[in-house]
Structure 1
C-alpha cells in the first residue's frame, strides 16, 4: 500500500514514508486496513484514507521534527498518533484528544499491539486524553503541530491559541456542508496566517457553541 502511494506521489517525503512504514494500519482499522479509503472504526466515525494521513503528515513535516510536540484532535483509532510519534523521536511528545470514551480506550489497546508504541504510551511520549477536542489540551501547550481529524463548523480559536509562536502549524478541515482543509501558522510575534488548501469530506467535529 505505502509503495503504491509513493509510486503515485501521494507520499512524497522519505520521513513520512518511514514513519508510516513503522505503523501497521492493521492494528488500527478492523476492516480493509490496507485499502486507500476511509474505513469505519465504529461509533459513527472513520479512520481516514492512508493518502489523507500522508497529506497531513507531509503538511506538518517541518513541525514534526525530533523533540517537537504535537496535538491530534479527534485521535480516533490512534493511528496518526503513532505516525507522529515516530517523526518527533527522540524526546518528542504527541497528545491525542478524543470525545468518544470508547475510542479513547480502544486507541490505547490498538497502540499496545506494537511493543514500541506500547512503550511510548507507558512512558508518556504518547498521551490520549478524553474530552472536547475543539478546546485542545492547554496543559500540554504550546504545540508545534496540531492536526484535526474531523471537520470543525468554524475555526477553533482555542486551538490557534495553543500553537507555538514561531513554529506552530495546524492542519484542519473546516466547514459543514462545504468543507476544506486549512493550514494555520503562527509567527514568532503571534501573528496568525490562515490558508485554504483543498476541498474534503470529513465527519463533523464535536464543538461546543461559543459564548
Structure 2
C-alpha cells in the first residue's frame, strides 16, 4: 500500500491522499488537515507517506495507514462516542478521533460528550504524546476530550467503556477477549492481527445489537508489535487496581491478573467475506 507521497505542507499531503483515492470522506480530509503531522514527529520534513521511527520501541504509522483506518471508522463516531486508541504512541490518531467527535457535534447541533482514551505501555511515549497533543491544541487535553493512560493495551480501559470504536495501532497475535468485551453494541474495532515480526491482517470486528460479532479481513498490513509492559519492567504481583488521577493528563493502571479458576467469556465469530 506504500504510495511514496511527499509534500511540503500538511494540507498538500492530505490533498495527494485524496487525489489517489485513499481519503474518500471530506470529513476525514478535514480532520487530518487540522491535525498537522509536524506536531507528532521530530522530522525536518514531516509530510512523507512512510513509517517513521519515533522511539526505540515505537513507530508513527504512514499517513495512508492513518487515513485508511479513519475511513473505516468515521461512520461509527458521533458526538457522544467513546473511542479507545490502543498503542496510542505519538497521539496523532487520538487527536484525529477527538476532532471527529467535535465535528459530529457541530454537524448535529449536539453537545460534544464523547471522549478518546489512549492506552500506551511506555511512560515516555505517554508523556511524548501529551506534549504533541498540547502543541497541536492544548484544549484537547485540558477539556478531558483526550485522556492518555499508561498501561497494558491488551486489557483496554474498562472504567471508561464500553467503547463505540476501538482502534489497535500495533500488531498482536490474536484479538484479546477483554477488548471485545469492551466493544459497544453497534460498535466497530480495527486490529492488526498475526505474526508480530512479519505481515499481519487488518481485522474489522463489528458487534451488532444482539451482541454477535462479525469479523472481516480487510487487507494485509505491517505494524510494529504491541509492547508487553511485563517486558519493559520487573514482574510484580498486583491485584486489580486502577489509578486514574489524571495528573498532567496521564492515567495509569496496574496489570490485571486473572485467577486460573475464572473462566473468561468466549466469543464466536461470524466471518464476512
- Which category of TM-score, normalised to the shorter sequence, fits these structures? over 0.9
1:168 corresponds to which of 161, 168, 187:
187
In the TM superposition, residue 69 of structure 1 has moved relative to its aligned partner by 1.2
Contact 1:153–1:205, Cα closer than 8 Å, also in 2: no
Contact 2:172–2:192, Cα closer than 8 Å, also in 1: yes
Q: Does residue 1:3 correspond to 2:15, yes or no?
A: yes
Measured in 1, the distance between the counterparts of 2:28 and 2:78 equals 11
Q: Does residue 1:152 correspond to 2:172, yes or no?
A: yes
- Quote the residue 1:16 is aligned against: 28
Count, aligned residues: 208
Contact 2:86–2:118, Cα closer than 8 Å, also in 1: yes
Contact 1:33–1:39, Cα closer than 8 Å, also in 2: no
Structure 2 residue runs without a partner (length 5+): 1-12, 103-111, 231-256, 261-273
Measured in 2, the distance between the counterparts of 1:44 and 1:123 equals 29
2:93 corresponds to which of 71, 75, 80:
80
Moved runs in structure 1, 4+ residues, more than 4 A?
207-211
In the TM superposition, residue 188 of structure 1 has moved relative to its aligned partner by 1.1
Structure 1 residue runs without a partner (length 5+): none
SS at match of 1:41: strand
Measured in 2, the distance between the counterparts of 1:62 and 1:205 equals 26
Contact 1:96–1:128, Cα closer than 8 Å, also in 2: yes
Measured in 2, the distance between the counterparts of 1:110 and 1:19 equals 16
What is the alpha-carbon root mean square deviation over aligned residues?
A: 1.5
SS at match of 1:181: strand
1:66 corresponds to which of 79, 88, 93:
79
Measured in 1, the distance between the counterparts of 2:225 and 2:208 equals 29
Q: Deviations over 1:159-182 (max 9, x none)?
A: 1110001x2100110011441100
- Quote the residue 1:101 is aligned against: 123
Q: Deviations over 1:120-168 (max 9, x none)?
A: 2012110000000011000111111000000011111111110001x21
1:187 corresponds to which of 199, 208, 219:
208
> What is the TM-score normalised by the length of structure 2?
0.73
Q: Which has the larger radius of gyration?
A: 2
